[in-house]
Amino acid sequence: MNRERAERQLVLIDEVLGAARDDGITLWLRGGWAMDFFLGEVTREHGDIDWFAWAWDAPRLAEVLTRLGHRPVPGPPADLQLDVVKDGLDGSFTLLDRDTQGRITVAGGPWAGTPWPDGLLDAEPGRIGVLEAPIVSPRAQIEIKRMMPVWDPSRPRRAKDAEDVARLEAALHGRP
């Protein structure tokens, strides 16, 4: 594992969380970093930093990220996700919305309005060392990692997702 890269990513997570919080924007880590913050340690190398954010915060979030030196990167539709890069570190901010029943849904793109797993944002913050971060629920994270290839067949199953699921399930067996 590239420890220097992981340390740079942790510094970036702290920087983004602080700036977003100062601007009244709530963010949640998702994916591998959410797992590591739940487990309390860096368990593997991370290619990027994945986040969730509310769609209604996207314009302000883009301004905050620009102020911090992030550059936009072409990717999914802008109403679905904001992709950025800073100092060679990639970040993806998947946008969330709510439907008329109050369920958390995909904000835009071809899956707009599709509900995310129940309890997505119900987790306590995670921690690595002194750094605390809001994270998606580990149970929702497991469902997302298991179901993504079903929901979107263009995204094949990955070995790291199976390993992440196994780590999360093992940790959950030891918790209430």
Summarised one tens digit per residue, pLDDT across range 9-25 is 999 999 999 999 999 99
Question: Which residues neighbour 22 within 8 Å (Cβ) at sequence distance 6 or greater?
Answer: none
Q: Which two tokens stand for residue 118?
A: 């129940």
Res 139 pLDDT > 60? yes
Rounded to whole angstroms, the Cα distance separating 163 from 141 reads 13
Rounded to whole angstroms, the Cα distance separating 101 from 89 reads 37
pLDDT > 90 fraction of the chain, expressed in percent and rounded: 83
Question: Counting runs of H as helices and runs of E as strands, what totals does the chain give?
Answer: 5, 8
Sign of CA dihedral 98, 99, 101, 105: negative
Q: Which two tokens stand for residue 13?
A: 């997570």
What architecture is the 3-137 domain classified under in CATH? Answer: 2-Layer Sandwich (3.30)
Rounded to whole angstroms, the Cα distance separating 60 from 22 reads 11
Q: For the whole model, what pTM was predicted?
A: 0.93
> What are the domain boundaries of the chain?
3-137
Sign of CA dihedral 67, 13, 122, 79: positive
pLDDT > 70 fraction of the chain, expressed in percent and rounded: 99
